[in-house]
Amino acid sequence: MAVRGGTTGASTASRILDIGERLVQTRGYNAFSYADVAAELDVTKAALHYHFPGKAELGEALLRRYVARFADALAKIDAEVADAPRKIASYAEVYAGVLQRERMCLCGMLAAEFETLPEPMRAIVVGFFDDNEIWLAKVLGQGRREGSLTFTGSTMQAARFVVAALEGALLMARAGGGVIRFREAVHSLIVGLVTHS
C-alpha cells in the first residue's frame, strides 16, 4: 500500500524505514534502491534524501531500529519467562515471527553481504550478534546451573552455536518448508540442549 500526499515528516520517515526493512529482509541490502522505496511511497527520491541523506544512513537507521526492537524482545523474555529451556524456545520464536512474515533476520541478511556494507553498518551487525550471544550465554549458564540444560564447552561457545543454528534454520526454511521446517529444527536444537533424566 502506497502512502500518498499529506504525510507528516515523522510518519514519512517511519514508512521509509518500514519499506526499507522489508526490502532488505526479502532482497538484501545491495538489491534495493532509493527508487524502489520512492516508488512504493509515491514520492521523489529527493524526498527520501531529505529524511536519509544516503543509502548508508538509511541502512544505519534500519539497523538501529531493528536492534532496539530485538533488545526489547529479549527484555520481555527475561521479564516473562523463568526457566532457561523456555527462554531459548521464546528466543527462537522471535526468529519464527520474522519468518512468518516471509522475511529473514535483518542482521542475518546483512551478514551475508558483510564485505560490501559501509563500516558503520558492519559495526552494528557485529554488535547485534555479540549482544545476542551474550544474552544466550547467560541463559545457557542459568540452565547449566539449574541442571535443565546440558552442553559441552563454554556458555559462549554454546550461544554461538544456537545463533548459528537459528540463522541457518531460517535460510533452509526460506529455501523450502517455511515455518514448519524452522520449528522442526528448533525442536531438535532444544531437545539436544535439555537435560534428560
What is the predicted pLDDT for the residue at 163? 98
* pLDDT above 90: percentage of residues in the chain: 88
Give the per-residue pLDDT at 44. Answer: 87
Q: What angle do CA 18, 175, 73 make, to 5 degrees?
A: 40
Q: Report helix, strand or coil for 194.
A: strand
- Average pLDDT of 70-76? 97
Residue 116 confidence (pLDDT) above 90: yes
The yes-or-no verdict on residue 131 having pLDDT over 60 is yes
Q: Tell me the Ramachandran region of residue 120: left when phi exceeds 0, alpha when psi lies from -120 to 50, beta otherwise.
A: alpha
Q: What is the CATH number of domain 55-193?
A: 1.10.357.10
Per DSSP, the residues of 81-146 read: --SHHHHHHHHHHHHHHHHHTT---HHHHHHHTGGGS-HHHHHHHHHHHHHHHHHHHHHHHHHHHH
pLDDT class for 5, splitting at 50, 70, 90?
very low
| pTM, full prediction | 0.90
